[in-house]
A and B are shown apart, each in its own frame.
Chain A
């Protein structure tokens, strides 16, 4: 009786209830349709949120894994292969499908939201949303709890990454890379336009000579965070970053958008604008800028934290409820928490590695890496950064709405 039931839980309910009524041919048009309709309505009704349960783990019989990640976020060699991922595959015998389809937190969430809410497979066994988005998934019960026994290397994590409010013991999310946002600038063009060497405070972005050549990130927490910090707000503190403080910062950004000073509010695609010269200075992510310099072949762009501080956040591994290869995913995380692998990865992507011991391994690869504050930041360097505080769902709704209106020029 159980064969060939549809995978979709709603359809399965309908089919089951139809089967339970022992459908005869005669009853098909009458009774079964009514039952089906009733089941459909019941399944669609919003009330009574049932708790989601993890999908059955088939890792032991099926050595495969689908990893959905941001672009330019894994080491690549000239042939287009991913060296660390290949050594993971040879080491474990798990074949990994790597997808660079995580282009933006909001749009990725918009795409998989309905499957997540039903506990269905989203087409990825493991993915890396930014911590605030991971927090949302955790609060909504959309992700599986890790089996720490499968991730012995978790002990290598920097203590700073443990003890997040949304996941105190890091049992449902683990950091992939830490990200810094600050100012990126085209060194020569910036000097030509302003006569200064580098932007140091937010006010430098509002220099009239840069009108129409300034870009900011479409990631609200980075853009508004940096402007709010410039206004003396501690963005990690709920008493300091109140709704009013947030709206004050939003107003500054909004005014600069409407007078044409800020020409672009973008996600990852801001790189193109820096490369073709449309943007001279931007609020940007550190690792991207270093990779751009590598592409250009010289130190064309600079990256600097504002005097009032830059924002820090992290992208986190999570395993959605509908993922069927949990154990394989845990092995993958364990692999990247090995200091050597973490060092190879960080040396390539140029983001902050969360792994203790990666620095020592990186020095063996290339001694100059040890001094790279963007990969292995010192205490003093980290003191210049702040993380955006967690928002409750009401705040999140009103803050994102306000930011979206700026993006649309309203």
Chain B
């Protein structure tokens, strides 16, 4: 094989140094199924022991890989089996579940990961008492812990939408906002409501390890909006063919780095490799924005007419380029469009170019959903449930993952800014349609699965 040349070396290093190329996360999935116990104290001890044993070397191994390959690995994280299943037998009340949240937080701190995801319940068709207790414990759990991420899957293409869970989740989002109101309702930034949630997603806040997964598994999430933006600057004014080819080639290169890191981490930790998630994940850093890619494609501001089409194209090319670069692709794999974590999106909201309705349209063609959007704190729980239901319907009908991570910022109005800090960024509070949907949300039961789910 021909030796690597100087041009190639400098291209890679330029991506890393100037265009924010990084591996966004190595997420170690840990199954807690073997920790189940009917005694709460024993359960907590087993959970703590399993996590701190399996993940003992995760952070140091990540740091070694970073140094040897010269590629930043921004986050080292853990995803676990949904806690509603693990605690179902031992936990008789929401408070019992909160003890598990504290244990998880302690374990996360012990092994040095910044987030642990899987304080979750999967209730797309119905809720067990355990599921309901866990969901009701979320506000307190997120208020009392630092590193826990929570998610609830309330719908799927196969099962339909559990509207009882949607109604409850609207109230829970609101209660979480109240419980963390001193920190601009930060708790809600760690709570995701899903439809068709994947079992192997490495990205927070929605990561958990599904029950179909192995005992431990390494999943990796790549990033690289800055690299894509820089690459397509070179084809400004050119046709779609060249534009698409450029995105695909760039996505391929970015994903190969993820695959390499995943393979190395798996080898060094002695834990099987699961998947690489091909998502374009922005950060608030300058030049690390998905919105800027869309603007480079030709939109004056993200949110302008044409945005949905440009995003659909971008999302598809990223997948096409990335798929060949990795032996197993999974997770969410697409472009993320969080508002608070993307400077271009924040600017577009501020200028009135990007509205909630346009964001909803954009979620039809990319992963994941209404993500990191600050809304007025006075928004009623039923309206939040209505927004969740809309997003779940998009996921259910289009056989894709959709999610809602809304932050009703208590005490703030449209025009104010909510500050979350770090990778979570900040967001201008966006207006919400003030017409109600209470009578719709108050109906009991579930929305049946769509006709095209019957593929058998």
A and B: bona fide binding partners: no
B→A interface (CB under 8 Å): none
A→B interface (CB under 8 Å): none
